[in-house]
């Protein structure tokens, strides 16, 4: 059986982060989601039948545990885990931050239990009034690349920043181009190499006298860059880059694409890569709804298809900022910041190709782990084991290639221009934790039990249970569950 190309058997990755914000789907999508089930369903595993019924936050903790299992053995010189911050994320108290978590850390922390707050269980509410469980007072990794727990809240905040810049610039009559760059590659090409080729390419495009001429001609004031990654069995790791270019005067997307391609393709050639003119560079305009409705003299906006070719989804500047910022429509800001929300896609271009992002990697690894527990045939077990090791190696390559990289980059002075306060990812995490309503204080023994028995998803499920109508009931149920638990609940958690 070919487990590699079997569609994911668990709930869509989009469920793990704000599905209500993704009403209209990603931009430029012309594929269908992968959904058929294989004849061996990982959800048949007795310990995992309830996964599909878990809440959004509980699923994030399950996925985080899966990725920790994948990255646990990655080390640097000296034996310390390269991803030690991620391994400790939401697992150790923030009151004690070791460089490498050890079993004895809890005993050291216990000496100070009466003087410091170890950790807390609580919840926050979404704009729609839904309860989202949370642990506070624990270590956070604030990784937007590999952490399913930290990533969604940071991405939500970053999307709001991008939305603010888009709205203010278009409201003032400015012009924005949505630029996408990618590279042709083989399955054997290392991700670090293709990623470097793309990022070096955009740097060379935006340098020298030629770019200064573009800046002067169209009043270029800055850009926002976002890196994104997918993987297919046919072509391997596929990095691509999105940028928003902010101009004071009008720009023709066709001419801009030609200019970018001529410089970008030369840069790729120096790095040993290439790109096609059709797919290597894409330029769309970010238009307001009025601009789309009225048409542009330099664009063919006579049909829905031609609009999609030239324009990203419309920006409604007739709305107030409060209305626009909470509209819940998937647009350019989400396209730049919420790559984790995009579903695995099935392409039918000369054959079936399933495209994974990082979270879909983890889902498939989890699938294979549970298949290994229920499959009895020795040959199938060997195949599953090989696929597990291969997917583990692929994810480690992805994690190491993106380690330390910024997912979103604003050019100097652009945030100040739109009055956006500078917060790094850790400060965003702290701000969001300050909004949590606390239910329970956790002792060192509580935290040790939660980690040992993998109780985090189950506790989040209790907090989010709609049957518990008040905080007192939620707090009581959480305390009863922790006190009465004496064995592992789930394989991951």
pLDDT, tens digit, 9 for 90 and up, residues 410-453: 999 999 999 988 888 888 888 888 888 999 998 888 888 888 88
Give pLDDT, residue 112: 54
Structural domain contains residue 304: yes
Work out the average pLDDT over 146-171. 87
pLDDT (0 to 100) of residue 265 = 92
Predicted pLDDT at 27? 41
243: pLDDT strictly greater than 70: yes
Co-location of 378 and 261 in the same domain = yes
pTM score, whole prediction: 0.80
Instruction: Indicate whether 354 and 266 sit together in one domain.
Output: yes
Q: Is residue 80 part of a domain?
A: no
- What are the angstrom distances between the C-alpha of 261 and each of 78, 157, 220, 241, 302? 45, 32, 18, 14, 26
Q: Which domain holds residue 350?
A: 150-421
Integer Cα distance of 284 and 309 in angstroms: 7
- Average pLDDT for 148-154: 87
Number of domains in the chain: 2
Residues linked to residue 266 through DSSP beta bridges, in sequence order: none
Q: In 145-295, at which residue ranges do the beta strands (DSSP E only) sit?
A: 175-181, 220-232, 236-247, 281-288
- 436 versus 96: the higher-pLDDT residue is 436
Tally of residues, the chain: 493
The string of DSSP letters for 122-150 reads: EEEE-TT--EEEEEESB-----TTT-TTH
Check pLDDT > 90 for residue 72. Answer: no
Identify the pLDDT of residue 284: 86
In a domain, 54, yes or no: no
**Torsion 435-11-454-397 (CA) sign:** negative
Greater pLDDT, 8 or 311 = 311
The per-residue pLDDT for 303 is 43
Domain end point (choices 392, 421, 450): 421
Same domain, residue pair 156 and 269? yes
Average of per-residue pLDDT across 200-212: 91
* Structure token digits, residue 276: 């096609």
* Residue-level pLDDT at 37: 27
| Residue 226: DSSP 8-state | E
Q: How far apart are CA 397 and CA 192, in angstroms?
A: 8
As a whole number of Å, the CA-based R_g of the chain is 24
Q: Which of these ranges, 47-51, 150-154, 161-165, 284-288, has the smallest mean pLDDT?
A: 47-51
- Return the H-helix or E-strand segment holding 432: helix 425-433
Q: Residue 482 in contact with residue 446, Cβ under 8 Å?
A: yes
Confidence band, pLDDT 50/70/90 cuts, at residue 313:
low
Whether 100 is in a domain gets the answer yes
* Residue of 327 and 466 predicted with greater confidence: 466
**Average pLDDT value for residue range 33-51:** 37
Give the percent of the chain with pLDDT over 70. 70
Q: Looking at the structure, do residues 105 and 251 belong to the same domain, yes or no?
A: no
Between 195 and 357, residue with greater pLDDT:
195
The predicted structure's pLDDT at residue 469: 85
Given the DSSP bridges, would you call strands 281-288 and 311-315 parallel, antiparallel or unpaired? parallel
Is 228 within 8 Å of 241 (Cβ atoms)?
A: yes
Q: Band of the pLDDT at 152, cuts 50, 70, 90?
A: confident
Q: Are the C-beta atoms of 136 and 433 separated by less than 8 Å?
A: yes
The residue from 406, 421, 436 where one domain ends is: 421
Phi, psi torsion values for 430, nearest 5 degrees: -65, -40
**Which pair of structure tokens corresponds to residue 438?**
């606390």
Same domain, 229 and 365: yes
- In the predicted model, is pLDDT for residue 45 greater than 90? no
Give me the mean pLDDT over the 366-393 stretch: 87
Mean pLDDT of 472-483: 93
Mean pLDDT on 32-43: 30
Q: Give the residue from 378, 405, 421 where a domain finishes.
A: 421
Q: What is the pLDDT of residue 205?
A: 92
**Residue 473: how many CA atoms within 13 Å on its side-chain side?**
8
Are residue 397 and residue 435 in the same domain, yes or no? Answer: no
Tell me whether residue 265 is in a domain.
Answer: yes
């Amino acid at each position: 059986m070919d487990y590699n190309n079997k569609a994911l058997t668990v709930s869509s990755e989009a469920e793990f982060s704000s599905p209500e914000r993704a009403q209209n789907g990603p931009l430029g999508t012309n594929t269908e989601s992968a959904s058929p089930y294989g004849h061996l369903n990982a959800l048949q595993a007795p310990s995992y039948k309830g996964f599909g019924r878990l809440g959004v936050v509980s699923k994030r903790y399950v996925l985080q545990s899966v990725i920790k299992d994948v990255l646990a053995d990655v080390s640097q010189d000296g034996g310390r885990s390269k991803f030690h911050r991620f391994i400790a994320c939401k697992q150790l108290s923030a009151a004690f931050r070791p460089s490498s978590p050890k079993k004895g850390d809890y005993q050291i922390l216990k000496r100070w239990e009466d003087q410091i707050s170890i950790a807390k269980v609580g919840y926050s509410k979404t704009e729609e009034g839904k309860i989202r469980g949370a642990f506070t007072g624990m270590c956070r990794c604030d990784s937007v690349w590999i952490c399913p727990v930290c990533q969604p809240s940071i991405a939500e905040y970053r999307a709001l920043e991008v939305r603010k810049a888009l709205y203010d610039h278009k409201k003032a009559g400015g012009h924005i181009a949505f630029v996408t760059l990618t590279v042709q590659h083989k399955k054997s090409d290392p991700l670090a190499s293709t990623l470097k080729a793309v990022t070096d390419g955009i740097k060379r495009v935006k340098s020298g006298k030629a770019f200064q001429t573009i800046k002067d001609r169209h009043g270029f004031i800055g850009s926002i860059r976002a890196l994104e990654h997918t993987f297919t069995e046919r072509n391997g790791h596929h990095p691509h880059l999105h940028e928003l270019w902010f101009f004071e005067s009008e720009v023709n997307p066709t001419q801009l694409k030609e200019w970018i391609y001529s410089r970008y393709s030369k840069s790729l050639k120096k790095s040993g890569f290439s790109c096609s003119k059709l797919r290597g560079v894409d330029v769309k305009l970010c238009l307001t709804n009025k601009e789309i409705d009225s048409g542009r003299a330099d664009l063919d906006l006579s049909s829905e298809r031609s609009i999609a070719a030239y324009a990203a989804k419309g920006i409604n500047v007739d709305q107030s900022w409060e209305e626009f910022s909470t509209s819940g429509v998937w647009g350019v800001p989400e396209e730049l910041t919420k790559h984790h929300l995009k579903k695995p896609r099935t392409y039918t271009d000369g054959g079936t190709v399933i495209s994974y992002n990082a979270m879909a990697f983890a889902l498939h690894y989890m699938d294979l782990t549970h298949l290994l527990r229920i499959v009895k045939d020795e040959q199938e077990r060997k195949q599953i084991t090989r696929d597990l090791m291969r997917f583990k190696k692929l994810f480690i390559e992805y994690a190491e290639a993106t380690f330390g990289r910024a997912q979103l980059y604003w050019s100097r002075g652009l945030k100040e221009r739109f009055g956006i306060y500078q917060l790094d990812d850790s400060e965003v995490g702290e701000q969001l934790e300050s909004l949590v309503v606390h239910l329970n204080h956790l002792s060192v023994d509580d935290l040790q039990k939660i980690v040992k028995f993998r109780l985090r998803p189950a506790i989040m499920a209790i907090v989010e249970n709609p049957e518990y109508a008040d905080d007192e009931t939620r707090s009581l149920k959480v305390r009863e569950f922790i006190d009465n638990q004496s064995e592992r609940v789930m394989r991951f958690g």
